[in-house]
Amino acid sequence: MSMALKQVFNKDRTFRPKRKFEPGTQRFELHKKAQASLNAGLDLKQAVQLPHGEDLNDWVAVHVVDFFNRINLIYGTISDSCTDQTCPVMSGGPKYEYRWQDEHKYKRPTALSAPKYMSLLMDWIEVQINNENIFPTNVGTPFPKSFMQVAKKILSRLFRVFVHVYIHHFDRVTQMGAEAHVNTCYKHFFYFVTEFNLTDQKELEPLKEMTSRMCH
């Protein structure tokens, strides 16, 4: 890891505190299992597979939180070059524009600058993953029927962060020596969402060519 990259990641430049898993919980043990697979250098395609005897909802919940933390950090590394001036529209090249919609202020899809979109996105995800009714942390508390639907929406929106970073800010990523780190995180994310069919193919379109070179 380059010195510039070390400085960035040591600052832990996330927008907000990382969601942690409580020691002693099943989710914490699953998180450790997932991390151990990665640290052991296990092939990423294998690392994302559901461990024998584990619950799919738990496995997805662990990864949603982990990807939120990691992608949040990746965006934080380039956020100084992603401004209302440089990125007045949240996009992935000329063909793809992402509009924000939520249940509160933006009831209709609304064009926003990339940093504004990112800020709303991270706030929205944080609310979801800290909502005990959606992401229960107590052992024995069942996941709601809508859990997978919410997880898919979170992961689809997080994918858009990769799209924007790769298409508009990859020179900054390379300049900081973070290319290998971002590529590994992307591959891990891609293998996970495709293993469990958690993102629509149309969402994956903007990075299709790059993905076929990197992941196949």
Return the sign of the alpha-carbon dihedral for residues 115, 75, 147, 153.
positive
Higher pLDDT, 13 or 176: 176
82 assigned ligand-binding residue: yes
Residue 25, pLDDT > 70, answer no
Q: How far apart are CA 76 and CA 165, in angstroms?
A: 11
Residue range 49-58: average pLDDT?
90
What is the model's pLDDT at position 108?
94
**What pLDDT digit, counting tens, does each position of 95-149 carry?**
999 999 988 899 999 999 999 999 999 999 999 999 999 998 877 789 999 999 9
Q: In this structure, how many other beta carbons lie within 10 angstroms of the beta carbon of residue 33? A: 14
Q: How far apart are CA 105 and CA 101, in angstroms?
A: 8
What is the length of the chain? 216
What is the model's pLDDT at position 53?
87
Q: Are 166 and 210 in contact (CB under 8 A)?
A: yes
169 assigned ligand-binding residue: yes
**In 3D, which of 21, 43, 44 has the Cα closest to residue 137?**
21
Residue 35, pLDDT > 90, answer no
Q: Side chain identity at 122, as an amino acid letter?
A: M
What is the model's pLDDT at position 20?
54
What is the model's pLDDT at position 27?
56
What are the φ/ψ torsions at residue 91 (nearest 5 degrees)? -145, 170
63 assigned ligand-binding residue: no
CA distances from 43 to 18, 49, 162, 209 (A): 26, 10, 21, 22
**What pLDDT digit, counting tens, does each position of 157-211 carry?**
999 999 999 999 999 999 988 998 899 999 999 999 999 999 999 999 999 999 9
Question: Given the structure tokens 């800290």, which residue do they identify?
Answer: 130
Residue range 16-32: average pLDDT?
54
Q: Sketch out the chain's domains with CATH numbers.
A: 3-9+23-215 (1.20.140.30)
What is the model's pTM?
0.83
What is the model's pLDDT at position 12?
42
164 assigned ligand-binding residue: yes
What is the model's pLDDT at position 31?
57
Parallel, antiparallel or unpaired: strands 99-100 and 110-111: antiparallel
Question: Given the structure tokens 């800010």, which residue do they identify?
Answer: 169
Angle at 81 between CA 75 and CA 83, to 5 degrees: 90
